[in-house]
């Protein structure tokens, strides 16, 4: 498998994801700059297609999910409709799930642990957080009051969902944003379990693989001389 290993594509996608997370709180409350968030999401979508597509069917699936999602995201600026918002986010979730699945496949089948493989593992973790953030937003749009700010001030913004998602994924659970319905409880439980399972199993597997990889490297002449 060449992607995420030889082409150095995962660090670019990782950088795009981190940038999106970092700039969201700074831009979402400024109408003149809010479009930049969707620009960065578009960059993430194209970066994901570039990163995980190796075969033709990968392009068809990623393009079939990602391109309509991009179209709906931008069309929603012109025609604000709940149905369009829901459809766009569902497609975006499906697309990100495909990206995460392809990255996981590559990580599992890669024997050597490289910078690109580690970047791919981080990409999957960040994508999981973004997927659940979108899911919380959808749940709130379908069933208002499913998630609530403890302060009770104002409506929940895009970054609030990201923040809540990642605190749940990492099981920090500060409690300043809380689920209020059974559906929201179920989503948070599944996300917390997946987050811990991912760290405990996949990351531990990568560490074990890296240790075995280092031990299998033959000693240099300098090491041999020091041993003698």
The pTM assigned to this predicted structure is: 0.83
Q: Which residues of 64-88 are buried (b: 16+ CB within 10 A; e: fewer)?
A: ebbebbbebbeebeeeeeeebbeeb
Nearest Cα to 165, choosing from 145, 139, 135, 193? 135
pLDDT for the residue 128: 95
The 3-class secondary structure across the chain, one letter per residue, is: CCCCCCCCCHHHHHHHHHHHHHHHHHHCCCCCCCHHHHHHHHHHHHHHHHHHCCCHHHHHHHHHHHHHHHHHHHHHHHCCCHHHHHHHHHHHHHHHHHHHHHHHHHHHHCCCCCHHHHHHHHHHHHHHHHHHHHHHHHHHHHCCCCEEECCCCCCCCHHHHHHHHHHHHCCCCCCCEEECCHHHHHHHHHHHHHHHHHHHHHHHHHHHHHHHHHHHCCCCHHHHHHHC
Residues 107-127: tens digit of each pLDDT:
887 777 778 888 888 999 999
pLDDT for the residue 111: 76
pLDDT at 54 over 80: no
pLDDT at 80 over 80: no
Q: What percent of the chain has pLDDT over 90?
A: 23
pLDDT at 215 over 50: yes
Nearest Cα to 117, choosing from 21, 22, 193, 213? 213
pLDDT at 8 over 60: no
Q: Which residues contact 173 (CB under 8 A, 6 or more apart)?
A: 167
Average pLDDT over residues 149-172: 83
pLDDT band at 225 (very low <50, low <70, confident <90, very high): very low
User: Domains in the chain, start-ordered, CATH in brackets?
Assistant: 10-227 (1.10.287.70)
Q: Say how far apart CA 115 and CA 39 lie, in whole Å.
A: 27
pLDDT band at 32 (very low <50, low <70, confident <90, very high): low
pLDDT for the residue 132: 95
């Amino acid at each position: 498998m060449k992607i995420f290993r030889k082409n150095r594509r995962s660090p670019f996608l990782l950088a795009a994801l981190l940038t999106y997370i970092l700039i969201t709180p700074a831009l979402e409350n400024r109408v003149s700059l809010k479009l930049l968030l969707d620009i960065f999401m578009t960059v993430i979508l194209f970066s994901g297609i570039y990163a995980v597509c190796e075969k033709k069917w990968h392009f068809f699936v990623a393009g079939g999910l990602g391109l309509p999602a991009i179209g709906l995201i931008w069309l929603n600026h012109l025609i604000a409709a709940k149905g369009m918002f829901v459809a766009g986010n569902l497609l975006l979730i499906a697309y990100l799930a495909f990206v995460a699945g392809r990255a996981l496949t590559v990580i599992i089948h890669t024997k050597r642990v490289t910078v690109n493989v580690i970047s791919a593992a981080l990409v999957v973790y960040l994508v999981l957080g973004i997927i659940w953030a979108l899911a919380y937003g959808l749940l709130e749009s379908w069933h208002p009051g499913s998630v609530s700010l403890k302060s009770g001030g104002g409506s929940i913004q895009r970054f609030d969902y990201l923040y809540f998602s990642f605190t749940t994924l990492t099981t920090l659970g500060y409690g300043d944003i809380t689920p209020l319905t059974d559906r929201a409880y179920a989503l948070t439980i599944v996300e917390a379990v997946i987050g811990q399972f991912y760290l405990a199993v996949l990351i531990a597997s990568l560490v074990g693989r890296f240790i075995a990889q280092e031990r299998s490297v033959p000693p240099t002449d300098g090491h041999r001389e020091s041993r003698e």
